[in-house]
Amino acid sequence: MAPGDSSPVQSEALAATLRVRYTRRLADYLQQEHILGYLLLLPAFLWLAALVAYPFGMALSYCLTDIVVGRKQAAKFIGLGNFISLLNNEIFIQTVKNSFTFTVSAVTLKAVFGLLLALLLNKDLKFKRLIRGCVLLPWVMPVALSALGWKWMYDSLYSVITWTLNRFVLLVGMPALEINWLGQAKLAMASVIVVNTWIGLPFFAITLLAGLQAIPGELYEAAEVDGATPWHKFFHVTLPMLRPVLAVVILFSTIFTFADFNTVYVLTQGGPMNYTHLFATLANMFAFQTLDLGRGAAVSLFMFPLLMVLVFFILRLARREY
């Protein structure tokens, strides 16, 4: 019988059969892990493509041109011109030094104190949950708000830190201190490092705490049987077992710290004498205050190759088995 000859009832039956067949075929597809996996990844992929890959691609295309905000049509391809110009820029060179000092110091402090805090939180303390909640506060607070709080604590007139130090200093009969936290180059850098460490410490502490809790208790018991001291247990059980988590946390923190903007922007605007400028604050200055989008993009992407190398080595370290 030709298809055109079928009655409406037959057509509906055929449609129903096809529907069932398609549904089954779809179910069969979805039962294949490689298909379902990609499907489940799709929303996250689209999200990242829109919010990370697209801006990254734009920045990449901008940094190779002399684009100025609002004058897209006049932009010309200049290759590595922006990068070469930056390498001859004194403020940029200072910014590179600042960024390394800032990142290495802050990440080291966060790693050391974060680990200590995690070890402490791993003990059976009273009010354990409350303490863990409180530890998270600097992490959950908006960074700009924290930085504003610190700005008051570093204020030349109203600094609570100076006030507290002076209570001790006066007790021993010494003259009161006048500490210019944000006005002296080295002190200003130390001050912004402290703020970044304070903000980022909970990320280390809580993640490492999760890592600590995943270490099987049997390993410690076995070590004790072998006569291990607490130091031995820390260096030969805890630290090796934590290494993958620690590596990933250090990796994330290094990237976040290199990209920090709020702390410096709120506290010092890159001063005094550019001694606290970071890549993000300098990029902001070029892109939004002088509208030099190309150079702003070049500043923000300058560290990208180096960070890629760092990511490679840290992830390799995390995977290495002893």
Residue 322 Cβ vs other proteins, minimum distance, rounded to whole Å = 48
Q: Is the CB of residue 165 less than 8 Å from the CB of residue 177?
A: yes
Kindly tell me which residue out of 90, 124, 218, 321 binds other proteins, with binding defined by CB under 8 A: 90
Kindly tell me which residue out of 56, 61, 83, 91 binds other proteins, with binding defined by CB under 8 A: 91
- Note the helical H segments in the chain: 8-30, 33-48, 54-63, 81-87, 90-121, 128-140, 143-153, 160-171, 185-213, 217-225, 230-233, 239-258, 262-267, 279-284, 293-301, 304-319
Work out whether 94 is an interface residue with other proteins (CB under 8 A).
no
Helix (H, G, I), strand (E, B) or coil at 65: strand
Q: Is the CB of residue 204 less than 8 Å from the CB of residue 198?
A: no
Rg of the chain taking only CA atoms, in angstroms: 28
Residue 192 Cβ vs other proteins, minimum distance, rounded to whole Å = 12
Work out whether 89 is an interface residue with other proteins (CB under 8 A).
yes
Kindly tell me which residue out of 140, 157, 308, 309 binds other proteins, with binding defined by CB under 8 A: 157
Work out whether 272 is an interface residue with other proteins (CB under 8 A).
yes
Between 31 and 88, name the residue whose CB sits nearer to other proteins.
Answer: 88
Rounded Cα–Cα distance for residues 230 and 220 (Å): 10
| Listed residue (301, 273, 74) closest to 182, CA to CA | 273
Residue 258 Cβ vs other proteins, minimum distance, rounded to whole Å = 21
Kindly tell me which residue out of 222, 230, 290, 304 binds other proteins, with binding defined by CB under 8 A: 290
Tokens representing residue 198 in the block: 């304070």
Backbone angles phi, psi at 65, to 5 degrees: -125, 175
Q: Is the CB of residue 272 less than 8 Å from the CB of residue 264?
A: no
Per DSSP, what are the bridge partners of residue 157? none
Work out whether 263 is an interface residue with other proteins (CB under 8 A).
no
Kindly tell me which residue out of 101, 183, 190, 234 binds other proteins, with binding defined by CB under 8 A: 183
Between 57 and 240, name the residue whose CB sits nearer to other proteins.
Answer: 57
Residue 267 Cβ vs other proteins, minimum distance, rounded to whole Å = 9
Between 10 and 23, name the residue whose CB sits nearer to other proteins.
Answer: 10
Work out whether 190 is an interface residue with other proteins (CB under 8 A).
no
Between 114 and 270, name the residue whose CB sits nearer to other proteins.
Answer: 270
For 44, what's the count of Cα atoms within 13 Å in the CB-facing half-sphere? 5
Residue 5 Cβ vs other proteins, minimum distance, rounded to whole Å = 14
Residues with Cβ within 8 Å of residue 102, at least 6 apart in sequence? 189, 192, 193, 196, 257, 260, 276, 278
Work out whether 193 is an interface residue with other proteins (CB under 8 A).
no
For other proteins, the binding residues in 39-68 under the rule CB under 8 A are 66, 68
Residue 148 Cβ vs other proteins, minimum distance, rounded to whole Å = 11
Taking CB under 8 A as the binding criterion, the range among 96-104, 111-119, 243-251, 282-290 that sits at the site for other proteins is 282-290
Q: Which residues make up the interface to other proteins (CB under 8 A)?
A: 8-9, 66, 68-72, 85, 88-91, 151, 154-158, 178, 180-185, 188, 268-274, 284-285, 287-293, 295
